[in-house]
Structure 1
C-alpha cells in the first residue's frame, strides 16, 4: 500500500547518480523514499553521466537557487578521433579521423589544445543542451531536426588537467579532471579539443565529483531506506556565510521587518541569517544601513 505523504524536515540530500538514469528519475526515487513531493535538484546531469546531484527537500528547495551557480569539478574521458552529433557517446558518429591524422596528435599538441581551453573562454554549448531557444529546449529542437544555433557564452575553466592518455589504432582516449564555473559544458570542451586537433572529439564518460563545498564522497547511492539530510542551516552557512541574529532580530526578520543599522555586521553580500538556536531564518542582504530578508524559511514549530 502506498504510504501517504508525511511532513519532512527541510534539508539537503547529496546523491551519487548512477549512469543510465535521468536526474528526474533520481528526484522521483527520492520522493518515494522520503514520502514527499517537495524535492528539487540543483544542476542536471545527463543520463550517461554519474556523480553528484544536490537535492533540496521540503522548504530547503528555496536554497537550490544559491547552489546551482556554484563552481563544479568533473572527471571525464575524451575520445579524440571521432565526432558525434551530441558531442558524447550517446550520439551518432558523424566523422572519424584516419590513423595518419591520429598519429600526428602528439602529447604536446594535446597539452597546447587543453591550455587554449583553460581560463576565461567563450564556449558554444552543445546543440543538445537544455538551453532555451525561443521558449523551447535546444535538445528538443535538435531532435526534431531543426537547425539550432546557440550563442557563445563566457565560462571559466580554472583547471583542465590530463590524468591519463591511451592510444589506440584510430582514437586517443584522454582522462581529464576539470574545475569550472557553472554553465560550462564538458561535452563542448571535448568537441572543441578535437576540433582544434583536426581529428574531432567527443565525451565517452563524465562524473561530477564536486559542487561548491559538497563532495560526491559524502553522497548516498541507495535511497531505498531513506537518506540522511544535511540541515538547511549548515548548507546555507557553507554556501553563503553567516549573519548571527539575536532572538529579537530573528523574530523581526521572520515578520518581514528590517534591522536598522545592522548592515555593518554583514561579512558577505547575501549571508544566511542564523537564529540563536541554530535554525535558519533565511537569507539577508543590505538595504542602505539596514539588513533586510530576501528569502525566509518557514519557522519549524516545536513538536
Structure 2
C-alpha cells in the first residue's frame, strides 16, 4: 500500500530538527503521504530535537498510549543564568548572584538526594498545559499571571556528565553541565534545570535538549526519518518582513512509505499484545467482550496474518473489552 492512495497505517519515527514545532513536523508528513489523518505522540518544544513519534491512518489511535511512555533526554543545563521560559528561547531574568556556581560533585549530590524517584514538579508558565481551556503559554505571552500547580513526576535516571566553565554572551560566568534523564510522561526537563538552579541560588536553564527515546522508539531506530529546518522571508499584509520556519523531511516523498513502521510492528513496540482467533477478532470488532486477561492496556492481534484487531483492557476478572477497534486488514 502506497502513500498515494491514502491507505498507510503505521508510525514514523522522526528526528525533529531545532527551530520548528511538532505541528510543523506533522504538516511535513501530511504533505509527504497525502493524508490528513496524521498526529504525534508528545510535543517537543521548538528548541528541542530528537524523537517525535508520528502516527498515520489507523495508527493515530495508538498515540494516546505512546504519549504515556517513559522518555529519555540528553540535555545541557547552564548554571548561572535564569530565563523566562527556563530554556534558551526565553529572555534572561535579572537576578543577583547570591551564590557561587556549584561544581559537578555538588550537582551530583543534590540530584541523587532530591531528583530521583517520584517528585513534585511545577511546570513552567510557558507550557502547553491548559488553564481554564487556554494554553498556559498563550496566557503568559499575553502578560497574564500564570500559576500552575505542582504535580507528581517520576525520574528513573538522572546522570550528570561533563561540566564546562564558560562565559555567556553577556559576559556572565556560567557552568554548562551535560545530563541524561529518563522520566515519566509529563516531566519538564527545563523545570528540572530551573529547580536545580534554585537549589544552588544561582539560577539555571536549558541550552540544549534532545529526546533520545519514547518508550522503545529511539533516535537510532532503523526507520528514523530525519528532517531539517528551512526558513523563508515574506512581506505580510502590514508591509512587515516576516521570517517563517518550516520542517522539510530529508526523505523524498516517493520513499517516505519505506520508512513506515507497519501497524502490527507498531503495536508490538507500543504495548503488550495478545493473540486472538478470527472468531474472537470478529467479536471484538463488534464491541463484544471476550474471555481473557491482560496486564494494562494491550493490543489484540490475529497472529496468523498480523491483523491488528483492537486495543483492549481488562473488563473484569475473566473478560477483556475493546477500547478502540481497527478495520480488518485488506
- Report the TM-score when normalising by structure 1: 0.92
Aligned partner (choices 266, 286, 297) of residue 255 of structure 1 = 286
Question: 2:230 — aligned with what?
Answer: none
Q: Say whether residues 1:234 and 2:265 are aligned partners.
A: yes
Q: Say whether residues 1:284 and 2:312 are aligned partners.
A: yes
1:208-247 alignment, distance < 5 Å: 208-218=211-221, 219-221=224-226, 222-225=250-253, 226-227=256-257, 228-247=259-278
Consecutive unaligned residues in structure 2, runs of 5 or more: 168-172, 227-249
- Describe the superposition over 1:154-177 as per-residue Cα deviations: whole angstroms up to 9, x where unpaired: 001111111210013510000000
Question: 1:138 — aligned with what?
Answer: 136
* Superposed displacement of residue 8, structure 1: 2.4
Give the Cα–Cα distance (whole angstroms) in 1 for the partners of residues 329 and 305 of structure 2: 12
Consecutive unaligned residues in structure 1, runs of 5 or more: none
* Superposed displacement of residue 137, structure 1: 0.5
Question: 1:102 — aligned with what?
Answer: 100
Aligned partner (choices 125, 130, 151) of residue 153 of structure 1 = 151
1:1-303 alignment, distance < 5 Å: 6-95=5-94, 98=97, 101-103=99-101, 105-115=102-112, 116-168=114-166, 170-218=173-221, 219-221=224-226, 222-225=250-253, 226-227=256-257, 228-259=259-290, 262-263=291-292, 266-275=293-302, 276-288=304-316, 289-301=318-330
Helix, strand or coil for the counterpart of 1:83?
A: coil
- Describe the superposition over 1:24-76 as per-residue Cα deviations: whole angstroms up to 9, x where unpaired: 11000000111111100000000010000000101110010110000000000
Indicate the larger mover: 238-247 or 82-91.
238-247
Report the RMSD for the aligned CA atoms in angstroms: 1.7
Helix, strand or coil for the counterpart of 1:102?
A: coil
Give the Cα–Cα distance (whole angstroms) in 2 for the partners of residues 181 and 295 of structure 1: 24
Contact 2:6–2:33 (8 Å) recurs in 1: no
Helix, strand or coil for the counterpart of 1:217?
A: coil
Contact 1:273–1:281 (8 Å) recurs in 2: yes
Indicate the larger mover: 134-143 or 276-285.
276-285
Contact 1:233–1:272 (8 Å) recurs in 2: no
Contact 1:102–1:172 (8 Å) recurs in 2: no
Contact 2:217–2:269 (8 Å) recurs in 1: no
User: Size of the alignment, in residue pairs?
Assistant: 292
- Report the TM-score when normalising by structure 2: 0.85
